[in-house]
Amino acid sequence: MQIITPENGFRAPLWRFFADILNIPHGSKNEAALSDYIRAFASERGFETKTDSVGNLVVRKPAAPGYEDHPALVLQGHIDMVCEKNDGTEHDFEKDPIRPILDGDWLKADGTTLGADNGIGVAAALAVLDAKDIKHPPIEALFTVDEESGLIGAMGLTPELVEGRRLINLDSEEEGIFYFGCAGGRNTSGSKAIKRIPPGEGSLLVRLRVEGLAGGHSGGEIHRRLGNAIRLGAQTIAAAGLADYGVCSLAGGGKHNAIPREFEALLAVKPEDLPKLEQAAADLQAQARRRFADDKPAEIFCEKLNQAPGAVIANGTALVDGLLALPHGVEEMSPIIHGMVESSTNLASVRTEEQKLYLLTSQRSAVGFKRDMLSRRVTAVLRLIGCEVKYESEYPAWEPNPDSPLLKFAEQVFNELSEKKAVLTAVHAGLECGIIESKIPGMDMVSFGPDIEGPHSPDERVRISSTERFWAYLVELLGRL
């Protein structure tokens, strides 16, 4: 049954394109089908397209009558999405469409990420290109690829692909918030060869689970009181006070830009130590539910499995200690923009294989040297537990420019249309604007969007009424530009 209908409040023309996007798998590095859809869309309307070597795509639409002498405007968004699903949800992101669910004034997905980040922005750009009845200057719609795995598309952007020097980034998630700066970032990962030894004689195989958390965006939501499932799992193991943790495997988290919401450890435990672990799980669950008021109720439990444990990791206790020592969360608030996080780090993922340990963390800061200092601190912990360290997906900050003409004009139009005043700020998340600015000096930029909650997690949802207002505002802004 189709739920994205005018009768359900979906009146803005962008919803038609968002519905199409939901039916096209487009996780990071799997955007070819959506890119083909956009090229076919442009070809049907006679619009010029151009692609660079990494797959970024530009569609050019001539100005509306009377606007031919106006400077071009770039509408920019990324066409990939974060692919996350709840345990027990059957979904193949390589081939299955996203299943939308209507929940009052919200649209969400059935056990998976929705892809409103950045599918709504992409749909809005397509709707502008498709429209025959709105006023606008010459439009360049820039669709970048592979944003969610580290802003890869923007990093490979060919500057000549874009001619305009005014850009609206449609990848923001709070209505009425106008961003004119963002943090830079870097991923710091560690790997280590592990040796395995026999478990203690008479050991039980026990599964420790942390689940139920909301997760969330490691940039935009790192300041909220949200639990990190990896950290909670390590704290539970340590709190049990076992002489030897008997670690068989560790698994938690996934994406560098998502706060981990699930963790699992298989442990070889002495029978007399099982009650200690069970009590620690109960205590940490109660503490988590009190501490993380912005989160969903944590579930921390352990269960004895009806099979003998296999080999355990030699000195697995040190690995758990490393998880406890790795920093996570806000490091420093901005002294310039009130309420904005300046620097943070995310303990993003841990995974053990038969002979290898992998750890992934992500650092962000509006100040380059502070990002690097935080990365070096993480590096020190990783090296102390014997890891080889790699740095990836480094990207620059977008330095705030409060004197931006485009920002001031966007603020003025919003304040005239809305009952509430626009809020001008920078965002702790990484936006492609920072990279675009470094590649195309002189680009005047602003970023805005509708209300989207829980991006990068299966709780992601977009507010329908907010998106309708976002569309009406975008149309008005284009006409006045």
Catalytic center residues: 80, 147
Dihedral class, residue 104 (left if φ above 0, else alpha if ψ from -120 to 50, else beta): left
Q: Residue holding tokens 């139009």?
A: 413
d(CA 398, CA 436): 9
d(CA 454, CA 462): 9
* 3-state secondary structure at position 60: strand
Three-state SS letters, 427-449: ECCCCHHHHHHHHCCCCEEEECC
User: Angle formed by the axes of helices 116-130 and 14-22, to 10°?
Assistant: 130
Q: Which residues contact 145 (CB under 8 A, 6 or more apart)?
A: 31, 35, 54, 55, 56, 57, 78, 79, 80, 152, 153
Q: Which two tokens stand for residue 479?
A: 């006409």
Q: Of the candidates 116, 84, 105, which has an alpha carbon nearest to the alpha carbon of residue 14?
A: 116
Residue type, 86: N
Q: Is the separation of the CB atoms in 396 and 438 below 8 Å?
A: yes
d(CA 477, CA 481): 6
Per the DSSP assignment, residues forming a β-bridge with 256 are none
* 3-state secondary structure at position 297: coil
* 3-state secondary structure at position 225: coil
Which CA distances in Å does 135 have to 66, 68, 480?
A: 9, 11, 8
Q: Which residues contact 272 (CB under 8 A, 6 or more apart)?
A: none
* 3-state secondary structure at position 350: strand
Distance of CA 245 to the CA centre of its chain: 33
User: Angle formed by the axes of helices 464-480 and 116-130, to 10°?
Assistant: 40
d(CA 474, CA 448): 10
Q: In terms of DSSP bridges, do strands 312-313 and 329-333 run parallel, antiparallel, or are they unpaired? A: unpaired
Residue type, 381: V
Cβ count near 99 (within 10 Å):
14
